Amino acid sequence: MSWLGFEWRSRHVVEGVLWLGLYVALSVFPLVLVLLTKPEELAGRSFWTELSVGLGFVGLAMMTLQFALTARFKTIKSPYGSDVVYAFHRVISLVAVFFVILHPLILFVERWETMKSRPITHPWPFWLGTASVLCLVGLVVVSLWRRPLGVHYDGWRRWHAILASMAVAFGVLHALWVGHYLSTPANRWLWLGYTLAFVGLIVYVRLVKPLRELGRPYAVTAVIPQRGDAWTLQLKPIGHGGLRFSPGQFAWITVNDSPFSDREHPFSFSGSSERAPELEFTIKNLGDFTSRVKDIPVGQRVYVDGPFGALSADRHPRAEGFVFIAGGIGITPMMSHLRTMADRGERRPLVLLYGSRDEESITFREELDELQRRLPNLKVVHVLSKPSAAWQGERGFIDREKLERYVPKGLQLEYFICGPDPMMDAVERALQEMGVPAGDYHAERFNLA
């Protein structure tokens, strides 16, 4: 690993630790403020009551912070990649929900005897808290088991946003109504700040961003069928300069006359970043929205929010070569790389290992042949799992043996992987076994739920 590469990675480690520190600080700040302001009228409560209250406050603060994590701020996402931020979001949300559920559970267990003989004296805070917890439970169940429950992606995204907003709103109202630790002005101001930040983030995501996109529409200029039941959408900006992206990045696109629609989907750019402002996205028919791409009329308005993602060779200018490993429609970020590199006259060694089902499902097959002519140091290896008897090339799956056979030796290479989850798991394992340092291979996954 080069010294510069090491420096680049250490900088991101330091940044990561600082982001995590900020997350912890914002989560526990309500408790620190209570300790500093010392509301004396509540002195003398038991350890378990205080722990329960502490968990409730912290859980609520962590839930509020989820809105900042998922608001697609490029400063948070660009160093790590969106899938890393979403992986963190998924686990930290479960931790926050666990804390929130512990809050009433500890109180119930501790006060069971008195609660049995006495009706609930403050029914509104109780019901608000219960509503918040129920929203959270619904949120977790639908997110973890979206597919088995048969919930469509668009519906899930809408309900995810609604339930999360309701959970936080009910939770804040519950805390305000109970009021104990919010009786001091400092604590009230703090929670007013958290609430304003929460409302502000919703306004930013649902109103400010779409308003900004409204002035930057794109139009569909062509819808081109590809092999493998995929379709390429070509877009051009209307009345503005468009955006710049690096190969391998992706954007959220809204195919609608209004950018306020919440039906937006993440897709990798498949075109060359040197051909901006024209954009291309190649989308495989996987059901839902993707099955309707072929019916999108030329001239249709589209809104593009991006670029996002860290899966780009442009972040590794000192690499001595690149290995691209794709499965199925995971070819799109690799196509963006190869087209861009061809436009730039790239001379470093490049290998593409591309897994498909059969000859007919190799998306971009003819163009990949053409790219081998434009890029003299590119080697394309097709690996087919169910080829015809006449197929002369590689068969089976991309495995360690094939990687060892085709990857050039003695070079500092960077590896990019994109495809179905089992394929990515298998390739990452094979690279580990081959002794490739974890920092030298890069993958982004888009299974958000």
Partner 1 sequence: MRRHLATLAALAVGLAVLGVCVAFAFLRSGS
Member of 87, 141, 196, 211 binding partner 1 (CB under 8 A):
87
Give the nearest distance from C-beta 291 to partner 1 in angstroms.
28
140 is an interface residue for partner 1 by CB under 8 A = no
Does 84 engage in binding with partner 1 (CB under 8 A)? yes
Min dist CB 269 to partner 1, Å, is 21
Please pick, from the candidates 27, 226, 273, 336, the single residue that binds partner 1 as defined by CB under 8 A. Answer: 27
C-beta closer to partner 1: residue 99 or 218: 99
Q: Does 20 bind partner 1 (CB under 8 A)?
A: yes
Nearest approach in angstroms of CB 180 to partner 1 is: 11
Rounded to 10 degrees, the C-alpha dihedral 135/137/142/145 comes to: 180
Assess 60 for contact with partner 1 (CB under 8 A): no
Of the candidate residues 60, 83, 107, 248, the single one contacting partner 1 (CB under 8 A): 83
Enumerate residues 428-447 that contact partner 1 by CB under 8 A. Answer: 428, 438, 441, 443, 445
CA pair distance 92, 97, nearest whole angstrom: 9
Decide if residue 316 touches partner 1 (CB under 8 A). no
Pick from 85, 100, 378, 418: which binds partner 1 (CB under 8 A)? 85
* 50: contact with partner 1 by CB under 8 A: yes
What is the closest distance, in whole angstroms, from the C-beta atom of residue 319 to partner 1 in the complex? 18
Which amino acid is residue 203, in one-letter code?
V
Exactly one of 5, 8, 37, 49 binds partner 1 (CB under 8 A); that residue is 49
Which of 92, 168, 190, 283 touches partner 1 (CB under 8 A)?
92
Residue from 14, 91, 196, 203 touching partner 1 (CB under 8 A): that is: 91
Binding residue (CB under 8 A) for partner 1 from 10, 46, 130, 258: 46
Residue 185: closest CA among 45, 60, 39: 39
* Cβ atoms of residues 143 and 156 within 8 Å: yes
Q: Which is nearer to partner 1, 71 or 199 (CB)?
A: 71
CB of 64 to partner 1, least distance (A): 14
List the structure tokens of 400.
């360690």
Residue 34 touching partner 1 (CB under 8 A): yes
Please give the residues from 94 up to 123 whose contact with partner 1 meets the rule CB under 8 A. 95, 98-99
Shortest separation between residue 240's beta carbon and partner 1, angstroms: 34
Rounded to 5 degrees, what angle do the CA atoms 220, 224, 229 make?
125
Near partner 1 by CB under 8 A, which window of 55-63, 117-125, 270-278, 288-296?
55-63
Under rule CB under 8 A, residue 80 binds partner 1: yes
Report the residue from 7, 44, 185, 435 that binds partner 1 according to the rule CB under 8 A.
44
CA–CA distance, 278 with 350 (Å, rounded to integer): 25
Residue of 60, 70, 81, 187 that binds partner 1 (CB under 8 A): 81
80 vs 204, beta carbon nearer partner 1: 80
Gap between the Cα atoms of 255 and 239, Å rounded: 18
In SS3 terms, the chain reads as: CCHHHHHHHHHHHHHHHHHHHHHHHHHHHHHHHHHHHCCHHHCCCCHHHHHHHHHHHHHHHHHHHHHHHCCCCHHHHCCCCHHHHHHHHHHHHHHHHHHHHHHHHHHHHHCHHHHHHCCCCCHHHHHHHHHHHHHHHHHHHHHHCCCCCCCCHHHHHHHHHHHHHHHHHHHHHHHHHHCHHHCCHHHHHHHHHHHHHHHHHHHHHHHHHHHHHHCCCEEEEEEEEECCCEEEEEEEECCCCCCCCCCCCEEEEEECCCCCCCCEEEEEECCCHHHCCCEEEEEECCCHHHHHHHHCCCCCEEEEEEEECCCCHHHCCCCCEEEEEEEHHHHHHHHHHHHHHHHHCCCCCEEEEEEECCHHHCCCHHHHHHHHHHCCCEEEEEEECCCCCCCCCEECCCCHHHHHHHCCCCCCEEEEEECCHHHHHHHHHHHHHCCCCHHHEEECCCCCC
- Of 14, 18, 24, 411, which lies in the binding site for partner 1, with binding defined by CB under 8 A? 24
Q: How far is the CB of 394 from partner 1 (least distance, A)?
A: 26
Q: Does 15 bind partner 1 (CB under 8 A)?
A: no
Cβ of residue 188: shortest distance to partner 1, in angstroms? Answer: 19
Contact positions vs partner 1 (CB under 8 A) = 16, 20, 23-24, 27-28, 31, 34-35, 42-51, 54-55, 58, 62, 80-81, 83-85, 87-88, 90-92, 95, 98-99, 428, 438, 441, 443, 445
